C-alpha cells in the first residue's frame, strides 16, 4: 500500500469544530478549554500543544480542572503518554512533587497509583519503585501522607516485584500513619514475604490473620507453599499442601500445583514433579500452559530434551496451547545442543501458530545461529525483529557481537556498536568484555586496549572479567610485566582479583618458566585471602615437573592438601605423567592405585598418560593390554588413546597392527582422527622406501613429532571438564605442520583410502583430512582429485574443508574452479560457510568481476534461507567489506563523546 501524500485535509478527526486559537490566551487555558470538549483526546489541535508540555504547565492545567476531578485525572494519565517531557519516569516524579507542592492532594493520590502501576509493569520496575518511594519519603517530611488505596497499590506492586523487605517497611509506615490493615493487606504481605523466601515473616502475618478471625483462603496457603519452595523446604511445602487438601472449603488450585512442581524441578525431583502433574488431573484441576512450561523447562535443564518434547505433544493433545515462553524454552535448549535446524523449525512453528516472539525468543535463536557461525542468518533475524517492531535489547547485540568475534570478525563487531547507539541503547560491561575477548584471541592487543580505555571514558566500569581477559591476552604474548602492571591497576581501582585472575597469572608465569614470580603471585593471593583452586596448584605441579624439581613438586602437593583441596583427576594425571616421563612406570601405577583408594576415579586421560608412558619406554605390548582392559574398568578409550597405540605400531614398522587398531576403533564406535590418519600415511610412505637407512631415517622423523601429551595436560590446567581437556590434547602437536603431506602424493592417499575402507571406518572423515592436508601444502592437483573422488562416492566435504579449498584456490586466482566448486557442493546439498563465500567475493571484487560477485551474493542469501534480501543487504555489505581499524577507533571515540551529549551523535 503506497503512503498517502495528502498531509492536509478539510475534514477534522474531531466532531467538534474549533476556531483558530487566540494568541493572547495562555497555553494552559487553551488546553483547559480543549479538554472540556467531547472526544478531546482525538482533537488535532491538542496534541501539538501538549507534545512539549513541561510538568509545571501540566500541573497548571490540572489546577484549572480542580472542580472537574474526573476530567483532570483523565488528562493527567493522557498527557504522560503524549508529552515528551512527562513520558520519562523521573519527569513523572517531578510532576507528582509539583502536585503536592500546590496542595492538589486528590490528584496526587491518583498520580501515585498511576505511577505505581506504570513502574510495576515496566522492565526496570524495581528501580522505578525504589525511586518513587524515595520521592514519597521526601514529600512525607513536608507533611504529605499516602492514602489507604495508595498504600494498598504500593504493597501489591512490591509483592509483584518480589521486594518483600521493602514491602514490610511500607507496611510498618502504613500502620504508623494510623491505617488499620484489612485482610487484603495481610494477604499481600504474606505473598510478598513468601515470594522473597522470608518464610518466618510470612508465618508471623499468617498467625495474625488467624488471631483476627479472617477466613484463610487458597491464595494465602499457596503463598506459604511458595515461600517454603523458595527456601527449598519441600517437606514443609507438602505439609501445607496436605492441610489445604484436607480442608473442605479450601482446595489446591492450578497455581498451588504449579508452585510445588516448580519446587520439585528446582531440586531435581523431576519424576515426582511429573507425578504431581498427573495427580492434578485426578483432582479435577487440569494443568495449564504455565504448569506444562515449568515441567518442560525442568526437563530441558536436566538434559532430558526428548522427554520435554514428549510433554509438548501431550500438552497439545489435551488442548493446552503452548505459549511464547514454552517455545522459547525449547528453542533455547535446542540452540544449546547445537540443533539450530530444529530450533529454526520450532521458531517457524511458533509463527505458524500465530504466536509473536518477543525479544527473549529472538535472542535465543540469534545466539544459536551465532554459535554455529551462521552470522548471515543471525543478522536476518535482527532485521526481522526491527521490521516487526520488536526492539532489540543490549543482549541481542551482545549475542551478535560475540558471534562476529567467534568467526574472527572482531572489527565488524566494533561497527555493530553503531547500531546499539542508534537504538538508544548503551553498551554495557558485557559488551566490552566480549569485544576484549575477541581481540585478545586474535592477538590484537592494541585494539583490545583501545576498547579498554574507551570503557573508562564512557563511564562504564571494568570488572574482574575485563582485567582477567586482558591479563590472559598479555601473558600469551609473553608480556608478563604488563600483565603484572594491569594487576596493580586493578587493585588501585578497588577491584579484587578472583581465583581465575590469580590462576591466569600463575599459569602464565609457570608456562614461561618464571616460577619464582609465580610463587610471589601465589603469596599475594594468600595475603588477599583468595582461596586457590586445584587449577592453581596444577599449574605449579606441571611447571615443577617440567624442570624435574621433585622436592618442590612434592612440597606444593602437600601445600595443596593443607589448603583443604582434594587433588583432582588432572592433578593425579600430571603426577603420573611426570613419573612416566622419568621412566618410573612402577611408581606411576602406584599413584593410579592411590587415586582409586582416595575415591578419585581415573578417567580416559589418566589411562592415556599411562599408555603413552609405556609406549615411550618401549613397552608397546603392555600398553595395548592396558588399552583393551580399559573398557572392563568402566573407562572407554577415545581417539587420543588409540592415536598413541597406532603411532607406536607405525613407529615400530608394524603397519598391519596399526590398521588392526583402526578396525577395533571402528567396531567400538570411535572415529579415527587426523593424527591417526597422518601416522598411517607416514607408515605407507615408509613402506615405499627400499633402503633400510631410508627406513630408519623416516622412522626417526616420525619420532620427532610424537603426541605431546605433557604439553597437552598443562594446557588443560585451568579447564573444568574433560571435553576441554580433549580439545587441549588435540590442539597440541599441530598435525598440519607434519611434513607427511609434502612427501605424499595421490597414490599414497588412495592406498590409505583402500586400507581405511577395509577397516569399515568412515571415508568421509578421511577425505576431509587428506584434502585439508594437501591444501596446506598447496598441492591443488591432489586436492582436485580427492574432491572429485569424494563427490563421486556420494560423500560431502565439511564447511571447514570447503573454506580451506576455496581459500587456497583463491590465492592462486583460480576463480572458475571456485565457482564450479560452489555449484558442485551445493548440488550435493552442502552449503559452504560464510567464510568460504567471503574469500571468493572479496577476491572477485578486487579483480573487478562485479557480475560474478552479485551472483555469488545472491547464492549466499538463497542458500542461507534468506527470504527478504532487501532487509539483510545492509548487514551483508558490512560483513563483506574490508576491515577498517581506523574507522573502528574513530567510532569508539564518537561513542565516548555520546556520553557527554544529550542526544546520539552517530
Domain ranges across the chain: 463-563, 617-761
Q: How many whole angstroms separate alpha carbon 43 and alpha carbon 33?
A: 12
Are the C-beta atoms of 470 and 504 separated by less than 8 Å?
Answer: no
Q: Which residue pairs from 9-15 have beta carbons closer than 8 angstroms and sit at least 24 positions apart in sequence?
A: 12/44, 13/42, 13/43, 13/44, 14/38, 14/39, 14/40, 14/42, 14/43, 14/44, 15/39
- If we measure between CA atoms, which residue out of 591, 596, 633 comes closest to residue 613? 591
Backbone angles phi, psi at 148, to 5 degrees: -60, -45
Give the three-class secondary structure for 674: helix
Are the C-beta atoms of 465 and 432 separated by less than 8 Å?
Answer: no
CA torsion, points 582, 586, 589, 591, in degrees to nearest 10?
Answer: -70
Average pLDDT score over residue span 357-372: 91
Task: Tell me how far CA of residue 170 lies from CA of 89, 151, 189, 639, in angstroms.
Answer: 21, 8, 10, 64
CATH topology of domain 463-563: 1.25.40
Q: What pLDDT was estimated at residue 704?
A: 39
Which residues have CB under 8 Å from 575's CB, separation 6+? 541, 545, 557, 591
- Classify residue 4 by its DSSP letter: P
Average pLDDT score over residue span 579-598: 87
**417: buried, middle or exposed (CB in 10 Å: 19+, 13-18, 0-12)?**
buried
Q: How many whole angstroms separate alpha carbon 290 and alpha carbon 255?
A: 9
Q: How many whole angstroms separate alpha carbon 589 and alpha carbon 574?
A: 13
Q: How many whole angstroms separate alpha carbon 241 and alpha carbon 48?
A: 58
Backbone angles phi, psi at 164, to 5 degrees: -65, -45
- How far separated are the first and last CA of the chain, in Å rounded? 32
- If we measure between CA atoms, which residue out of 250, 119, 200, 179 comes closest to residue 189? 200
Instruction: Tell me the per-residue pLDDT of 478-532, one tens digit each, with 9 for 90 and over.
Output: 888 898 888 888 888 888 899 999 999 999 888 888 888 988 988 888 888 888 8
Q: What pLDDT was estimated at residue 142?
A: 78
Q: What pLDDT was estimated at residue 898?
A: 59
Q: What pLDDT was estimated at residue 331?
A: 94
Which residues have CB under 8 Å from 258's CB, separation 6+? 287, 288, 290, 291, 294
Say which range, 71-80, 287-296, 301-310, 566-575, has the weakest mean pLDDT. Answer: 71-80
Q: How many whole angstroms separate alpha carbon 97 and alpha carbon 131?
A: 13
What interhelical angle do 815-827 and 834-846 show, nearest 10?
150
Instruction: Tell me the per-residue pLDDT of 310-360, one tens digit each, with 9 for 90 and over.
Output: 999 999 998 899 999 999 999 999 999 988 889 988 998 888 888 889 999
> For the chain, what percent of residues have pLDDT higher than 70?
88
Are the C-beta atoms of 43 and 37 separated by less than 8 Å?
Answer: yes
Q: How many whole angstroms separate alpha carbon 76 and alpha carbon 426?
A: 31
Say which range, 49-58, 179-188, 792-801, 897-906, has the weakest mean pLDDT. Answer: 897-906
User: What sign results for the dihedral spanned by CA atoms 787, 791, 797, 803?
Assistant: positive
Q: What pLDDT was estimated at residue 236?
A: 92
* Beta-carbon-side half-sphere exposure of residue 2 (alpha carbons within 13 Å): 3
| pLDDT tops 60 at residue 700 | no
Are the C-beta atoms of 883 and 891 separated by less than 8 Å?
Answer: no
Are the C-beta atoms of 480 and 487 separated by less than 8 Å?
Answer: no
**821: buried, middle or exposed (CB in 10 Å: 19+, 13-18, 0-12)?**
buried
| pLDDT tops 50 at residue 721 | no
Instruction: Tell me the per-residue pLDDT of 843-863, one tens digit each, with 9 for 90 and over.
Output: 888 888 888 888 888 888 877
Q: What pLDDT was estimated at residue 867?
A: 67
> For the chain, what percent of residues have pLDDT higher than 90?
22
Q: How many whole angstroms separate alpha carbon 840 and alpha carbon 832?
A: 11
What confidence category does residue 725 fall into, taking pLDDT thresholds of 50, 70 and 90? very low
Average predicted confidence (pLDDT) for the chain: 82
Q: How many whole angstroms separate alpha carbon 378 and alpha carbon 398?
A: 12
**669: buried, middle or exposed (CB in 10 Å: 19+, 13-18, 0-12)?**
exposed
Give the three-class secondary structure for 358: coil
Are the C-beta atoms of 414 and 432 separated by less than 8 Å?
Answer: no
Instruction: Tell me the per-residue pLDDT of 733-781, one tens digit each, with 9 for 90 and over.
Output: 333 335 788 888 899 999 999 998 998 888 888 999 999 888 888 888 8
Q: How many whole angstroms separate alpha carbon 21 and alpha carbon 25?
A: 8
Q: How many whole angstroms separate alpha carbon 329 and alpha carbon 365?
A: 11
Average pLDDT score over residue span 890-895: 72
Q: How many whole angstroms separate alpha carbon 851 and alpha carbon 854?
A: 5
- If we measure between CA atoms, which residue out of 397, 400, 506, 486 comes closest to residue 440? 486
Per-position DSSP letters for 41-74, written without gaps between them: GG-TTHHHHHTT--HHHHHHHHHHTTTSHHHHHH
Are the C-beta atoms of 28 and 60 separated by less than 8 Å?
Answer: yes
Give the three-class secondary structure for 512: coil
- If we measure between CA atoms, which residue out of 317, 274, 281, 328 comes closest to residue 298? 274
Are the C-beta atoms of 582 and 615 separated by less than 8 Å?
Answer: no
Give the three-class secondary structure for 145: coil
Amino acid at each position: 500500500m503506497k503512503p498517502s501524500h495528502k498531509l492536509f485535509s478539510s475534514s477534522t478527526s474531531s466532531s467538534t469544530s474549533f476556531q483558530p486559537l487566540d494568541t493572547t490566551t495562555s497555553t494552559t487555558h487553551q488546553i483547559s478549554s480543549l479538554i472540556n470538549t467531547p472526544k478531546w483526546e482525538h482533537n488535532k489541535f491538542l496534541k501539538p500543544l501538549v507534545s512539549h508540555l513541561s510538568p509545571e504547565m501540566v500541573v497548571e492545567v490540572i489546577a484549572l480542572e480542580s472542580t472537574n476531578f474526573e476530567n483532570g485525572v483523565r488528562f493527567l494519565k493522557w498527557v504522560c503518554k503524549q508529552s515528551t517531557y512527562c513520558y520519562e519516569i523521573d519527569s513523572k516524579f517531578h510532576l507528582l512533587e509539583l502536585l503536592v507542592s500546590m496542595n492538589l492532594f486528590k490528584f496526587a493520590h491518583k498520580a501515585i497509583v498511576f505511577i505505581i502501576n506504570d513502574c510495576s509493569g515496566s522492565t526496570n520496575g524495581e528501580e522505578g519503585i525504589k525511586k518513587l518511594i524515595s520521592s514519597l519519603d521526601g514529600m512525607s517530611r513536608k507533611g504529605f501522607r499516602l492514602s489507604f488505596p495508595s498504600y494498598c497499590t504500593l504493597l501489591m506492586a512490591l509483592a509483584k516485584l518480589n521486594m518483600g523487605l521493602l514491602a514490610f517497611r511500607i507496611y510498618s509506615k502504613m500502620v504508623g500513619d494510623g491505617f488499620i490493615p484489612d485482610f487484603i493487606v495481610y494477604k499481600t504481605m504474606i505473598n510478598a514475604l513468601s515470594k522473597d523466601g522470608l518464610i518466618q515473616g510470612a508465618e508471623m502475618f499468617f498467625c495474625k490473620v488467624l488471631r483476627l478471625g479472617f477466613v484463610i483462603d487458597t491464595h494465602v496457603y499457596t503463598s506459604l507453599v511458595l515461600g517454603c519452595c523458595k527456601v527449598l523446604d519441600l517437606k514443609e511445602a507438602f505439609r501445607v499442601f496436605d492441610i489445604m487438601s484436607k480442608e473442605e472449603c479450601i482446595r489446591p488450585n492450578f497455581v498451588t500445583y504449579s508452585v510445588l512442581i516448580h519446587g520439585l524441578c528446582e531440586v531435581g525431583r523431576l519424576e515426582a514433579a511429573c507425578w504431581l502433574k498427573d495427580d492434578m488431573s485426578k483432582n479435577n484441576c487440569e494443568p495449564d500452559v504455565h504448569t506444562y512450561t515449568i515441567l518442560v523447562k525442568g526437563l530441558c535443564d536436566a538434559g532430558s530434551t526428548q522427554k520435554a518434547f514428549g510433554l509438548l505433544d501431550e500438552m497439545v493433545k489435551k488442548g493446552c496451547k503452548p505459549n511464547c515462553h514454552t517455545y522459547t524454552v525449547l528453542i533455547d535448549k535446542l540452540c544449546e545442543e547445537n540443533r539450530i535446524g530444529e530450533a529454526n523449525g520450532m521458531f517457524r512453528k511458533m509463527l505458524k501458530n500465530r504466536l509473536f516472539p518477543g525479544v527473549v525468543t529472538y535472542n535465543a535463536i540469534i545466539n544459536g545461529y551465532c554459535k554455529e557461525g551462521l552470522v548471515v542468518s543471525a543478522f536476518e533475524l535482527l532485521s526481522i525483529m526491527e521490521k516487526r517492531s520488536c526492539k532489540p535489547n543490549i543482549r541481542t547485540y551482545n549475542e551478535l557481537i560475540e558471534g562476529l568475534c567467534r568467526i574472527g570478525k572482531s572489527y565488524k563487531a566494533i561497527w555493530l556498536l553503531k547500531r546499539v547507539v542508534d537504538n538508544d541503547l548503551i553498551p554495557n560491561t558485557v559488551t566490552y568484555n566480549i569485544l576484549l575477548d575477541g581481540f585478545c584471541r586474535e592477538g590484537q592487543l592494541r585494539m583490545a586496549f583501545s576498547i579498554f580505555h574507551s570503557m573508562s571514558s564512557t563511564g562504564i566500569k571494568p570488572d574482574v572479567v575485563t582485567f582477567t581477559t586482558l591479563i590472559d591476552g598479555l601473558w600469551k604474548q609473553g608480556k608478563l610485566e604488563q600483565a603484572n602492571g594491569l594487576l596493580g591497576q586493578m587493585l588501585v581501582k578497588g577491584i579484587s582479583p578472583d581465583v581465575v585472575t590469580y590462576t591466569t597469572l600463575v599459569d602464565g608465569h609457570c608456562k614461561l618458566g618464571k616460577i619464582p614470580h609465580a610463587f610471589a603471585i601465589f603469596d599475594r593471593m594468600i595475603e588477599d585471602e583468595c582461596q586457590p583452586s586445584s587449577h592453581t596448584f596444577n599449574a605449579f605441579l606441571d611447571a615443577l615437573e617440567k624442570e624435574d624439581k621433585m622436592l618442590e613438586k612434592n612440597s606444593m602437593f602437600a601445600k595443596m592438601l593443607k589448603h583443604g583441596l582434594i587433588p583432582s583427576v588432572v592433578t593425579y594425571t600430571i603426577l603420573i605423567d611426570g613419573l612416566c616421563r622419568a621412566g618410573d612406570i612402577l611408581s606411576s601405577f602406584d599413584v593410579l592405585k592411590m587415586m582409586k583408594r582416595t575415591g578419585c576415579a581415573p578417567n580416559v586421560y589418566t589411562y592415556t598418560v599411562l599408555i603413552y608412558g609405556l609406549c615411550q619406554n618401549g613397552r608397546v605390548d603392555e600398553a595395548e593390554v592396558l588399552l583393551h582392559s580399559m573398557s572392563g574398568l568402566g573407562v572407554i578409550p577415545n581417539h587420543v588413546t588409540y592415536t598413541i597405540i597406532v603411532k607406536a605400531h607405525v613407529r615400530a614398522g608394524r603397519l598391519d597392527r596399526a590398521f588392526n587398531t583402526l578396525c577395533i576403533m571402528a567396531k567400538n564406535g570411535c572415529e579415527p582422527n587426523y593424527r591417526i590418519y597422518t601416522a598411517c600415511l607416514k607408515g605407507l610412505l615408509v613402506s615405499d622406501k627400499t633402503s633400510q637407512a631410508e627406513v630408519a631415517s623416516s622412522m626417526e622423523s616420525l619420532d620427532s613429532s610424537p603426541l605431546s601429551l605433557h604439553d597437552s595436560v598443562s594446557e588443560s590446567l585451568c579447564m573444568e571438564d574433560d571435553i576441554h581437556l580433549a580439545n587441549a590434547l588435540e590442539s597440541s602437536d599441530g598435525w598440519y605442520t607434519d611434513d607427511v603431506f609434502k612427501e605424499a602424493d595421490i597414490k599414497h592417499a588412495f592406498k590409505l583410502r583402500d586400507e581405511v575402507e577395509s577397516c569399515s571406518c568412515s571415508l568421509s572423515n578421511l577425505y576431509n583430512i587428506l584434502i585439508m592436508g594437501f591444501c596446506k601444502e598447496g598441492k591443488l592437483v591432489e586436492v582436485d582429485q580427492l574432491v572429485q573422488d569424494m563427490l563421486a562416492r556420494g560423500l560431502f566435504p565439511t564447511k571447514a574443508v570447503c573454506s580451506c579449498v576455496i581459500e587456497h584456490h583463491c590465492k592462486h586466482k583460480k576463480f572458475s574452479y571456485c565457482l564450479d566448486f560452489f555449484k558442485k557442493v551445493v548440488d550435493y546439498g552442502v552449503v559452504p560457510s560464510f567464510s568460504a563465500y567471503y574469500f571468493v567475493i572479496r577476491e572477485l571484487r578486487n579483480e573487478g568481476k562485479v557480475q560474478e560477485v552479485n551472483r555469488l551474493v545472491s547464492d549466499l542469501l538463497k542458500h542461507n534461507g534468506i527470504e527478504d534480501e532487501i532487509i539483510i543487504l545492509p548487514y551483508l555489505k558490512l560483513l563483506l567489506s574490508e576491515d577498517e581499524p581506523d574507522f573502528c577507533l574513530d567510532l569508539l571515540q564518537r561513542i565516548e563523546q555520546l556520553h557527554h551529549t544529550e542526544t546520539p551523535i552517530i
